């Protein structure tokens, strides 16, 4: 074997030790950073109510169930002229693409995951 050695450790070991030291110093400098802590501890809460003079109700649906009720819910909402927001879960949208495309004409759509 023809490895370069510095003392009793190979160059690979010294490189690994140097990388670990750099990462440790970087972690020590940024771990207590107020901006990092603020980003981690800031939690946005959902909107439960809004002050308004109008008589309105907000409604949303998470589309993560099967397809049995989806069209029926849309039909009832259409019948009463109700606007709703459906949050489509990615795996559901992939499983039922034929139901995804009519949504924008009948309800607002957002991605849930």
* Domain spans, the chain: 5-41, 60-111
pLDDT digits (tens, 9 = 90+) for 40-58: 566 677 777 888 898 887 7
What count of other Cβ atoms lies within 10 Å of the Cβ of residue 64? 14
Strands (E), the chain: 5-6, 9-10, 60-63, 85-88, 108-111
Helix (H) or strand (E) holding 39: helix 34-41
pLDDT, averaged across the chain: 75
Average pLDDT over residues 65-80: 83
Please tell me the predicted confidence (pLDDT) of residue 79: 92
Distances (CA, A) of 25 to 18, 31, 32, 79: 11, 10, 12, 63
Higher-confidence residue of 32 and 90: namely 90
Distance of alpha carbon 33 from alpha carbon 36, whole angstroms? 5
DSSP conformational letter for 15? H
Average pLDDT over residues 84-106: 78
């Amino acid at each position: 074997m023809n490895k370069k050695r510095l003392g009793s450790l190979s160059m690979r070991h010294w490189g690994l030790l140097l990388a670990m030291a750099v990462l440790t110093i970087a972690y020590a400098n940024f771990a207590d950073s107020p901006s990092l802590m603020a980003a981690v501890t800031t939690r946005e809460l959902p909107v439960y109510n809004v002050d308004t003079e109008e008589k309105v109700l907000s409604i949303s649906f998470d589309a993560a169930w099967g397809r049995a009720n989806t069209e029926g819910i849309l039909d009832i909402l259409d019948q009463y002229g109700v606007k709703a927001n459906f949050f489509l879960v990615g795996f559901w949208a992939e499983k039922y693409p034929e139901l995804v495309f009519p949504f924008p004409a009948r309800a607002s759509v957002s991605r849930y995951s």
